[in-house]
Amino acid sequence: MVLVEFSMTPIGKGESVSEQVVKVLDLVDKSGLPYRFNAMSTLVEGDLEEVFSLIRRCHKELEKTCPRIYTIIKMDHREGYKDMLNYKVGSVEEKLGRQLRK
């Protein structure tokens, strides 16, 4: 199981990239994989092959309209763990003794 954080920045599309973000998040949502997105990146959890296949599809979608794409990928591969999206946050909150603002 892997937890992957990725961000793709279209270069050459101007200051606003919301149209490209919508296209990528639509693919992520339709993938069926657990995910969260925030103002700077998207986190996806799943099998290594599934997650990287999704990232490849997202990249190909952006290639249709973007001359250059800057991509950052961070990955945590941890055997035997599931629901890492929630587990990691829960572990920190448990040690802190309270929930953090979200």
Q: What are the sequence ranges of the domains in the chain?
A: 2-96
Which residues are within 8 A (CB) of 46 and not within 5 positions of it... i.e. 6 or more apart? 1, 2, 33, 34, 54
Mean pLDDT, to the nearest integer, of 27-40? 97
Question: With 90 as the cut, is the pLDDT of residue 16 above it?
Answer: no
Give pLDDT tens digits for 39-64: 999 999 999 999 999 999 999 999 99
34 versus 87: which is more confidently predicted? 34
Please, which residues bridge with residue 46 across strands?
2
- CA 57, CA 78: separation in Å to the nearest integer? 24
Beta-carbon contacts of 68 under 8 Å, excluding residues fewer than 6 positions away, are 10, 11, 12
Q: Regarding the domain delimited by 2-96, which CATH topology (the fold level of the hierarchy) does it fall under?
A: Alpha-Beta Plaits (3.30.70)
Q: What is the mean pLDDT of the chain?
A: 94
1 in Cβ contact with 79 (< 8 Å): yes
Q: Is the pLDDT of residue 69 over 80?
A: yes
Rounded to two decimals, the pTM is: 0.88
State the pLDDT at residue 27.
Answer: 98
